Amino acid sequence: MSNLFFTSALLPDGWAENVLVETDGRGRIVSAMPDAACPADAERFAGAAVAGIANLHSHAHQRAIAGMGESSGEGSDSFWSWREVMYRALDRMAPEDFEAVAAQLYVETLKAGFTAIAEFHYLHHDRDGGAYADPAEMSHRAIAAARTAGLPITLLPVLYNASGFGGTPPTAGQRRFIHDGAGFDRLTTALRHSYGEADDVQLGIAPHSLRAVPDGLLTEIVAAHPQGPIHIHIAEQRREVEDCVAYRSRRPVEHLLDTQPVDGRWCLIHATHMTEAEVAGVAASGAIAGLCLTTEANLGDGFFAADSYMAQGGRWGIGSDSHISVSPVEELRWLEYGARLTSERRTVLAGGPRRSTARRLVEDAQAGGAQATGFESGRIAAGLRADIVVLDTDHPLLAAREGDALLDGWIFAGNTPLVRDVVIAGRAVVRDRRHPREDEIADRFKKTLGRLLG
């Protein structure tokens, strides 16, 4: 048992003062008691404590190229032209380079206030497309980087089999991603053997997209993996929707809902371009919509139908995807701001009169992130992981605020980071805005980028 003491905390039934959280040896909450005295052996945190938010969609290797590809090319730039820039950047990335980039990202993730990450991991093979001696080599590197940072990880090995609808052969730029069904089974079997009992690792699968995984193969791997999260990119760009309609005479979300057992295990990443019927279908399924606002904006994808989806009880969470930004604040803020810009109203997603917009956004993202990653977290409550973020109530941006006004200040009052401490499984991994290994990890990252991009 260990004790954590928070001067204030958001518990399931509301804000409370002087909260004593007892945790067990696995970092799970045994009790959360308000109006408690602070024991002598407790670790004390001054500030406002809230359960952490999981980052439900990450491509860690893309942190190495954040901010690149921003010069206009010839013709019209889009996701598809940016993708070629990303593919070229992978040509020189060795396993140790990937681990260095991922470790830097994961430290940034913690300091921003995320408390878990779902790694949608498709960088499997060597630079020439050949297999490593250990087919899970790059997956091991992702988990090693997460453990270096102290960040729980949901590893989602990606099945990528084709470059387009109809089983179009992969391109040269995709050579490091490709698996057939048997190769993918070997990978996932190896990962279950290595990490199946780990408290800090959850395992799932990620069929990349309907264009990259033919129908028969998708059905096969879903049936072969009856447990764990299933994440898939879907309906991110209009061209993908048009190509799907041309090939199948159905839209991607419509097709997925008709042909797969979509339920609470599934996380539909982006789901940007949906009809009202598709919005209703996803909301009714219990699946999570994985929203990545800063990446979707950066790539010019479009805006998710948040107001309609949330009004129908749809579940959702946030991810930083390409890591053009690593901030739950920015993802949540732009979810609301996008809804305001498209509706010409304010507090669109608050969920009712006289409700805090940030409270609604934070709590939905906590619940959706926990569901999508498979970690039992998202609230400060008995039986759940003690994954907790402490906001700096001494900061001027949070001055004279209390309760939900602290959350509104965190999300909407400015761009200064307001996370002071981060607790993972009952242990502080960020204290006073510092991660104990951030300098060495940053130094390694900078040297790695010097080699990759120099």
Q: Which residues are catalytic?
A: 270, 321
Which of these, 426, 450, 396, 424, lies nearest to 146 by C-alpha position?
A: 424
For every residue of 65-78, DSSP letters joined together read GTT-S-S--SS---
Which of these, 58, 270, 65, lies nearest to 153 by C-alpha position?
A: 58
What are the backbone angles phi and psi of residue 419, rounded to the nearest 5°? -85, 120
**CA 230, CA 372: separation in Å to the nearest integer?**
8
Task: Give me 158's structure tokens.
Answer: 């990606």
The SS3 assignment for 271 reads: coil
Which of these, 217, 144, 145, lies nearest to 184 by C-alpha position?
A: 217
Residues 310, 368: contact at Cβ < 8 Å?
A: no
Residue 130, Cβ neighbours under 10 Å: how many? 9
Task: Give me 330's structure tokens.
Answer: 């920015």
Residues 114, 52: contact at Cβ < 8 Å?
A: yes
**CA 178, CA 122: separation in Å to the nearest integer?**
8
How far is the CA of 364 from the CAs of 71, 143, 289, 367, 432, in angstroms? 36, 27, 11, 5, 27
Which of these, 119, 56, 142, 94, lies nearest to 372 by C-alpha position?
A: 56
For every residue of 377-441, DSSP letters joined together read -SSS-TTSB--EEEE-TTSGGGTT--THHHHHHHHHS-SS--EEEEEETTEEEEBTTB-TTHHHH
Q: Label residue 85 exposed, middle or buried (CB < 10 Å: 0-12, 13-18, 19+).
A: middle
